[in-house]
Amino acid sequence: MIERYTLPEMGRIWSQEHKYELWCRVETLVLEAHAAAGTVPADAVGPVRAAPPPTPEAVAAAEAVTDHDVIAFLTAWADNTVPRSAAAFVHYGLTSSDLLDTALAVTLTEASDLLITRATALVAALREHGLAHRDTIRAGRTHGIHAEPDVWGHRVADFAFAVARCRDRLRHARESVAVGKLSGPVGTYSNIDPAIEARVLPELGLRPADVATQVVFRDGIAEWVSVLAMLATACDAIALEVRHGQRTEVRELAEAFSAGQKGSSAMPHKRNPIRSERICGLARVVRGYVVPVMEGMALWHERDISHSSVERVALPDAAIATDYLLHLTTGVITGLRVDTARMRANLESTGGLIYTSSVLLDLVAGGMSREDAYTLVQAAAAASWDTGASFREALRKEASVAGQTLDEARLDEVFRPERYVERLGPVFTRLADLT
């Protein structure tokens, strides 16, 4: 991921420096376990443990010769080991993927923990914003068209629970990827005792794979990226709502616009929803990695490396982009400007058409057939829409033609927008309890 969208903590997790630190940690723990079991000389442990991780530059120089990343790492690390002979027992009984998959599992759990923290912060921001707007009347919309009265906090509550569910899915996915293997070239423990794996992996916060070949099967990683895509898409949905709300014709919502900020190089009046647009764009990037990573589940026999090149790009990119999306979406919500007066004005802009559903039901309750009531209300709505007359006045005319008497006192209640949201109390009780 480019630096523009990389936050420091997540960037550090996926850095080359951190990768080699983890590789050193895995190899050192294996060496210590071997020494404790009497498999290798105990005096090899101290020098290896004291050897600093190789720099990315040193590994790259070695890889230019070996054309093999793990051998290059082992060579560069051995160069840092005093005496160098102690390094002979590093990687004892292992194959490259024992190191790669186990260290990757640690990286994925670290990234998950940061993403879970960010998602929880977004849930909190949405919860507080939703509760603050539990009484903010607005037009509910379906197909982009006014439907019935709603409150802005209701829409926000839906987003809050969606993000919370995705966050909880990530917790499960974290467990799915917290799996390592230290079982040798094709996973048969031919040159390493399973007791080494059983000892080392818990120290890394991992569990041994139930079965592994040369690699851990990639279903857990595919699940993890899929959940990141869902989380990114939840952010996408929030941002899309803000973008619609900030359109000039709607003007109900607006991203924060700071002093000195510019919206356009040509049009000084512009205040564009650039953060929300960025969120929607980057969510596409995260979704785009799901299929390539999932295809890593199907490998030739005990292993090929067709998954490797994909994961080197897709996993850090997906994690870094999702981290940035969560951070950006939280900022959009905490700084969001809600024009409550404009919401009310938009609700009233159709002259009462937004109340047709309840008028229909009220006429049916008064004794009309549903078919006749629907015909009457639809005719009145069409007249109101076409002429700009108030829906209530058009309704009176259509009722008169049909020989129907309207209960004006009852219509007063039907045309009161607050009555449509009176039963939302339990929703906001659940929202208040959301963590």
Task: Return the active site residues.
Answer: 143, 264
Enclosing H/E stretch for 325: helix 306-334
- Name which of 66, 56, 75 is nearest 18 in CA terms: 56
Residue ranges of alpha helices (H) inside 335-406 are 340-348, 356-365, 370-387, 391-401
Question: Which residue bears the tokens 């895995």?
Answer: 26
Q: Where are the alpha helices (DSSP H) in 133-182?
A: 152-177
Closest CA to 133 of 160, 152, 150: 152
Cis before residue 54, ω within 30 degrees of 0? Answer: no
How far CA 53 is from CA of 16, 18, 25, in Å, comes to 11, 9, 9
**N residues, the chain:** 435
| Amino acid identity, position 361 | L
Nearest to 217, CA basis, from 190, 183, 167: 183
d(CA 152, CA 135): 8
Beta-carbon contacts of 200 under 8 Å, excluding residues fewer than 6 positions away, are: 26, 29, 30, 33, 182
Neighbours of 421 (CB within 10 A): 21
Question: Within 10 Å of residue 423's Cβ, how many Cβ atoms?
Answer: 8
Calculated CA dihedral for residues 345, 348, 351, 356, nearest 10 degrees = 160
